[in-house]
């Protein structure tokens, strides 16, 4: 079974061209399934049926996994067993009538403009790494890119003449504009810091770490967490900057569909969650301040 799972991961990597962090999640989900099947003395994937899958989902819930996590695991299983059907490795799909747990959609958490400014101004501009960090934060907030997209950027993706960046997402490429603040931070990083961080190495990755290698997703998460703690802002993630980018644009009158396109949503209706987030903030302020609430 695990050999078949490995073949599936290879297929996702080579054919579907999924990102590395997505592949890690899929592999982790499959490993949990295989552990469960081994405990149940199941020797072949053909033996897996709907009852067994339901038992597996129930076991996950009993272990304390959140509904969102279980729902993601169900997505992994759907993809896996569909792959097996298409490749004629099994004759029936045990996921055919399986429904994922309902996940309550929470409004995205975004920072205030003041909190964003505090974070963007936190890096020490007298050091190469500080100049890099400033450029990273400015570009994330200016474009709403995901971390996985930002760390894949190369010098060729950046057009400083027209203030645009070519961003390659999971399914398609998009071109996103950025403002003068981001341009200024990028210019300082490129002319005053990047070569020093490279230590004589030559490659085209836009953002590099202090070892002269490309920035990693984990490294960037730690970076943002450290600055958030140092400034006292609290629990900030790269997603917080993406949320703030969208919410602040919409709050200032940007077209929701255009914001959705900049975020890379194939379904622009996804961007309307940021409208809901702003409405919730307005309601909260109303309740706090209105004398006849």
Distance in angstroms (rounded) separating the CA atoms of residues 4 and 135: 43
pLDDT recorded at residue 66: 84
Give pLDDT tens digits for 189-200. 999 999 999 988
pLDDT recorded at residue 270: 45
- Per DSSP, the three-state class of 166 is strand
- State the CATH architecture for 113-238: Orthogonal Bundle (1.10)
Give CATH 1.10.150 domain extents, the chain: 2-86
Q: Low-confidence residues of the chain, pLDDT below 50?
A: 266-293
- State the CATH architecture for 2-86: Orthogonal Bundle (1.10)
pLDDT recorded at residue 28: 93
pTM: 0.56
Residue 66: both structure tokens together = 């959140």
pLDDT recorded at residue 166: 87
Give CATH 1.10.443.10 domain extents, the chain: 113-238
**What residues have CB less than 8 Å from 217, skipping those under 6 apart?**
21, 147, 148, 151
- Per DSSP, the three-state class of 151 is coil
Residue 67: both structure tokens together = 């509904």
Residue 95: both structure tokens together = 């996921």
Residues pairing with 173 in the sheet: 168
Find, among 165, 172, 169, the residue nearest to 135 by Cα: 165
Distance in angstroms (rounded) separating the CA atoms of residues 205 and 142: 19
Give pLDDT tens digits for 225-260. 888 888 888 777 777 777 777 767 766 666 655 656
Q: Average pLDDT over the chain, rounded to whole?
A: 81
């Amino acid at each position: 079974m695990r050999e078949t799972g490995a073949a599936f991961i290879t297929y996702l990597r080579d054919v579907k061209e999924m990102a590395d962090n997505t592949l890690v999640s899929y592999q982790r989900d499959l490993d949990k399934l295989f552990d469960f099947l081994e405990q149940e003395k199941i020797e072949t994937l053909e033996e897996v049926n709907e009852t067994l899958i339901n038992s597996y989902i129930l076991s996950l819930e009993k272990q304390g996994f959140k509904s969102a996590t279980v729902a993601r695991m169900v997505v992994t299983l759907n993809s896996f067993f569909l792959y097996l059907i298409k490749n004629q490795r099994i004759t029936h799909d045990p996921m055919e009538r399986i429904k994922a747990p309902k996940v309550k959609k929470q409004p995205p958490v975004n920072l205030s403009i003041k909190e964003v400014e505090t974070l963007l101004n936190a890096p020490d501009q007298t050091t190469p790494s500080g100049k890099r960090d400033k450029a990273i934060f400015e570009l994330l907030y200016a474009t709403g890119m995901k971390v996985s997209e930002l760390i894949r950027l190369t010098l060729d993706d950046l057009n400083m003449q027209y203030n645009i960046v070519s961003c390659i997402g999971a399914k398609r490429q998009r071109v996103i504009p950025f403002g003068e603040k981001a341009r200024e931070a990028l210019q300082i990083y490129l002319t005053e810091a990047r070569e020093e961080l490279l230590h004589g190495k030559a490659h085209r990755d836009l953002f590099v770490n202090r070892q002269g290698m490309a920035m990693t997703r984990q490294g960037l998460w730690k970076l943002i967490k450290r600055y958030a703690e140092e400034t006292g802002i609290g629990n900030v993630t790269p997603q917080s900057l993406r949320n703030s980018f969208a919410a602040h644009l919409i709050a200032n009158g940007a077209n929701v569909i255009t914001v959705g396109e900049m975020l890379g949503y194939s379904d622009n209706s996804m961007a309307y969650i940021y409208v809901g987030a702003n409405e919730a903030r307005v309601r909260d302020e109303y309740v706090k301040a209105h004398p006849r609430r």
